[in-house]
Structure 1
């Protein structure tokens, strides 16, 4: 029965994607089938094999070490504020982003990341049937972040037609940056974070290939990217810039958390006082059918739907903290929802992405803003597809 629901869930995701397609006649089904099969294989390996456990343990071990190093800096500055044995979200989860951002800057500066991103993108372009620039951008988004990635393709931004610009923006919203992955692992189980990162990479190509199908001519399919103008900076100028960028991200996320959590609490209080039910519970009923088709038992679908809705109307961190409050959810439901939460698919991301593009090219930024809701729609379907496939192997 569980597998039948999963198959039905995948078909519904594709049906919802197909309805939003710009040109149904241009959809190429062979790459889609290949990528779905790859998703299933990768999910099976990561969640259900010894090799997958070793890979996940190694990756989580690296981030655990990085977070430990990051806390050395945090404790040096804020050590007197945090009492022994206490957990403060801002200090323990958000501020380590500063160190991870600095590390990414160093790897950028010594040309390690540009090399890795470029050639992984080239390999992916052979699998997904899309352009080299689109494949590069998907990998770069998963490393640099949803706004920073556009700096690396700023030479191409003003030359891109609307359909290719949509794909680049969709990749940015469907993935998460490496600077924030360690923070996710403080809140969610690392195996689900890693699985989501891998599945979303292919899921972004799958959903975009249906919503926004096109073929890139060989003349257009160039990959001349400029990851950043590090050659014009000294090492310490670059390092200072990345440290400040990381700090800005931590502050922005903290501010958004304060605002969204407070607003949701206020709205819940108003709804509870008038209707006797919270706003999140109402959203839970709306999203419950989607939770069920992802493989979540119906008795837990309303709670799961509430967490899914919270992510969309606020952000993934708020939803992750909300998930932690539901201690009675089954491990299967927690796993599926955890995979769903690992992406930037929320309303605030529309503004972040359109603002990032507008900062580089105003006209193209306005184009992005006009298809913003369609971006969110597609990115949410990517999360649903990843969670549904992961659910096959989560017990």
Structure 2
């Protein structure tokens, strides 16, 4: 039964993308089929094989070691604010971002990350049938983050037509930054985080290829990666440390606001309708959760967490999943977890359009105009990833 529902879910998500396609005649089906098959193969390897367990375990252990190193710095500054063996979200989850950001800066400074991003991107362009710029951007967004990635391609931003700009922004919203992956692993199982990162990369290309199909000519297919201004090592390190701290503070502030607002709305809805806002979202979103493979009896609580992510952000939803009093089966937890690992939410529209506008005001206005379409596409990427995981586990 799960295979019938899962295949129906795949048809629905790809069908929704096709219905909203800007030019159905230009959709290239061969690369899409190849990438969907790759998603199944990679998802199966990561979740169901010894090789996958070894790879995920190695990545998870690596991040655990990095988080331990981060904890040394955090405890030195903030250790006295909490009692022994107690956990606070800001100190335990957000502040390690500062160290991971500094590490990314070091890898950038010594040209290690640019090399990896560029050549993985070039390899992907052979598979997805898109341009070198789109492929580079998809990989770079998964490492640098949804706003920082545009700095590296700012030379091209002013020259891009709307359809190519959409693909770049869709990749940025469909992935997550490596600087906060470690924080995700504190809240949900690392195997789901790693699986979502890999599948979302291909999912972003799949959905964009359907919603926004086009052909890049050899003359247009030019990739010029913007070099950062020359800095000394310690100047660079200080900048990335401050950037990481800003991200931690901004995410913390957003969480305070969103959690408080959702709590207030829940209280109002319970007082007036006798049902919380999150539970109401669960009823509305539950058909999609069922199509992703969530059993009927778990559809409403699972859908409530998924919908919370869309209206707030992934950290709020992950916290709800981690602290929920409702017990979800392993399969449902896997489906919900991979759905949460992306930047697909309403606040990301403002973040991405603001980042582009800071580099090119005209193009930033273009991004703002297709913001809802951007969120729709990125959400379909998350649904596609979750549906495939639902068929695999």
Structure 2 length normalisation: TM-score? Answer: 0.99
- Unpaired stretches in structure 2, ≥5 consecutive residues: none
CA contact (8 A) 1:153 1:227 kept: no
Alignment partners' CA distance in 1, 2:227 and 2:193 = 26
How big is each residue's C-alpha offset from its partner over 1:278-304, in whole Å with a ceiling of 9 and x where there is no partner?
A: 011111100000000000001111111
Q: CA offset at residue 391 of structure 1?
A: 1.3
Q: CA offset at residue 329 of structure 1?
A: 1.2
Residue in 2 that maps onto 1:350: 349
Alignment partners' CA distance in 1, 2:265 and 2:223 = 47
Alignment partners' CA distance in 2, 1:240 and 1:216 = 39
Alignment partners' CA distance in 2, 1:354 and 1:193 = 26
Q: CA offset at residue 227 of structure 1?
A: 4.6
Distance 1:238 1:354, change over 3 A: same
Residue in 2 that maps onto 1:29: 29
CA contact (8 A) 1:200 1:382 kept: yes
Q: Which of 282, 289, 292 is residue 284 of structure 1 equivalent to?
A: 282
CA contact (8 A) 1:151 1:227 kept: no
CA contact (8 A) 1:142 1:178 kept: yes
Note if 1:322 corresponds to 2:287: no
How big is each residue's C-alpha offset from its partner over 1:108-147, in whole Å with a ceiling of 9 and x where there is no partner?
A: 0000000000000000000000000000000000000000
Residue in 2 that maps onto 1:303: 301
Q: Which of 233, 253, 256 is residue 255 of structure 1 equivalent to?
A: 253
- Determine helix, strand or coil for the equivalent of 1:337: helix
Residue in 1 that maps onto 2:190: 190
Alignment partners' CA distance in 2, 1:365 and 1:14 = 28
Alignment partners' CA distance in 2, 1:228 and 1:385 = 35
How big is each residue's C-alpha offset from its partner over 1:220-269, in whole Å with a ceiling of 9 and x where there is no partner?
A: 1011112522xx21111111110000000000000000000000000000
* Count of residues in correspondence between the two structures: 392
Q: How does 1:29-48 map to 2 (within 5 A)?
A: 29-48=29-48
Structure 1 length normalisation: TM-score? Answer: 0.99
Q: CA offset at residue 327 of structure 1?
A: 3.8
CA contact (8 A) 2:40 2:392 kept: no
Alignment partners' CA distance in 1, 2:134 and 2:120 = 12
Q: Any runs of at least 4 consecutive aligned residues in structure 1 with deviations exceeding 2 A, and if so which?
A: none
Alignment partners' CA distance in 1, 2:234 and 2:278 = 46
Alignment partners' CA distance in 2, 1:250 and 1:273 = 34
Q: CA RMSD in A?
A: 0.6
Alignment partners' CA distance in 1, 2:10 and 2:181 = 26
Q: How does 1:150-161 map to 2 (within 5 A)?
A: 150-161=150-161
CA contact (8 A) 1:307 1:323 kept: yes
How big is each residue's C-alpha offset from its partner over 1:158-212, in whole Å with a ceiling of 9 and x where there is no partner?
A: 0111000000000000000000000000000000000000000000000000000
- Unpaired stretches in structure 1, ≥5 consecutive residues: none
CA contact (8 A) 2:301 2:326 kept: no
- Determine helix, strand or coil for the equivalent of 2:352: helix
Alignment partners' CA distance in 2, 1:331 and 1:86 = 27
Alignment partners' CA distance in 2, 1:167 and 1:245 = 26
Moved more, 131-140 or 323-332: 323-332
Q: How does 1:62-73 map to 2 (within 5 A)?
A: 62-73=62-73
